[in-house]
């Protein structure tokens, strides 16, 4: 996909079909969809600063005990020092994306030791 907001609906449709096809419970499919959508939205907003037409690659790997989704961009690498968890005692205006990702999947990792961009790896156990 590309970093155009309208591509998010296309990605969600494709990923939903793939997840349901793996006999994952519907609620788990929804959670994975939220996580991948938040990662893609963060890539568009932060890695590409809203620039359209930039590449975002999504790959799904299926194993008997888990699903792994890799999401890669070629933008500004993620810098964990800029992240602050949301204060859930207030109504945060921003900063909920990674919190939702971490609540939606079992493992989250990222790789910035690359020539460009970030590779996010999300793991959902069956």
40 part of a folded domain: yes
* pLDDT tens, position by position, 71-116: 999 999 999 887 777 777 776 667 788 999 999 999 999 999 999 9
Q: Are 58 and 69 in contact (CB under 8 A)?
A: yes
Q: Give the contacts of 23 (CB within 8 A, at least 6 positions apart).
A: none
106/117 Cα distance (integer angstroms): 23
Kindly state the average pLDDT of the residues 4-22: 95
Q: Give the contacts of 27 (CB within 8 A, at least 6 positions apart).
A: none
Predicted TM-score (pTM) of this structure: 0.92
Instruction: Decide: residue 89, CB within 10 A, 0-12 exposed, 13-18 middle, 19+ buried.
Output: exposed
Domain that holds residue 73: 7-125
2 part of a folded domain: no
Read off the CATH number of the domain in which 33 is found. 3.30.565.10
């Amino acid at each position: 996909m590309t970093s155009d907001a309208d591509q998010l609906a296309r990605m969600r449709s494709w990923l939903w079909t793939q997840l349901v096809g793996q006999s994952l419970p519907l609620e788990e499919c929804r959670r994975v969809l939220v996580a991948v959508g938040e990662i893609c939205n963060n890539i568009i907003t932060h890695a590409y600063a809203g620039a359209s037409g930039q590449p975002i690659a999504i790959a799904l790997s299926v194993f008997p005990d888990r699903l792994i989704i890799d999401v890669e961009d070629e933008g500004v690498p993620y810098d964990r020092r800029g992240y602050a968890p949301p204060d859930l005692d207030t109504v945060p205006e921003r900063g909920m994306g990674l919190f939702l990702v971490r609540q939606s999947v079992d493992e989250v990792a990222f790789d910035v030791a690359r020539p460009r961009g970030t590779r996010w790896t999300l793991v959902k156990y069956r």
